[in-house]
Amino acid sequence: MPMNTLSRPLSRRHLLLAGSGLVAASLLLPRGLSLAHAAAPESSHKLTAGPSQARLAGAEHPETPVWAYNGTVPGPEIRVRQGDRLRIAVTNTLDQETTVHWHGIRTPNAMDGVPHLTQKPIAPGETFLYEFDAVDAGTFWYHPHH
């Protein structure tokens, strides 16, 4: 009795044949399109850097003046899917310049948030658009570098 193709183990030959089919299909795509480089979905977010209050030492102690993102310390969670194009508009309502540094995330150098080195600081009242692809999966964090 012949084996069902779903119960047959994957062989090197079947893998190569399947890969050859994908290569052939990609050659038939219109020029400029590819299977591997489809447009990444965009994920847009807004952060406001500004003064706030946070309880840092427990309920029995008074709140402490802090610089926060969207009024919270730490700032809000930003969730994206691996491969998404991340767009984060950061508005500075502090009375000093600021930037956002993205820890552990591979970003273009101009989006790294190191003031006077990789970007001009965000002046009070200004907005800067950070834009990069979420290349890696994982949990990362962000903070000011100014």
Amino acid letter at 122? I
Domain membership of residue 76 (yes or no) is yes
State pLDDT tens for residues 62-93: 999 999 999 999 999 999 999 999 999 999 99
Residue 73 maps to which CATH number?
2.60.40.420
CA 9 to chain centroid, in Å, comes to: 38
Domain membership of residue 127 (yes or no) is yes
Question: Helix or strand or coil: residue 21?
Answer: helix
Please give the residue range of the domain that contains residue 134.
Answer: 42-143
Q: 14: number of CA atoms within 13 Å, CB side?
A: 6
Give pTM, 2 decimals: 0.70
Average pLDDT estimate for 21-44:
53
Domain membership of residue 121 (yes or no) is yes
Can you give the length of the chain in residues? 146
Domain membership of residue 1 (yes or no) is no
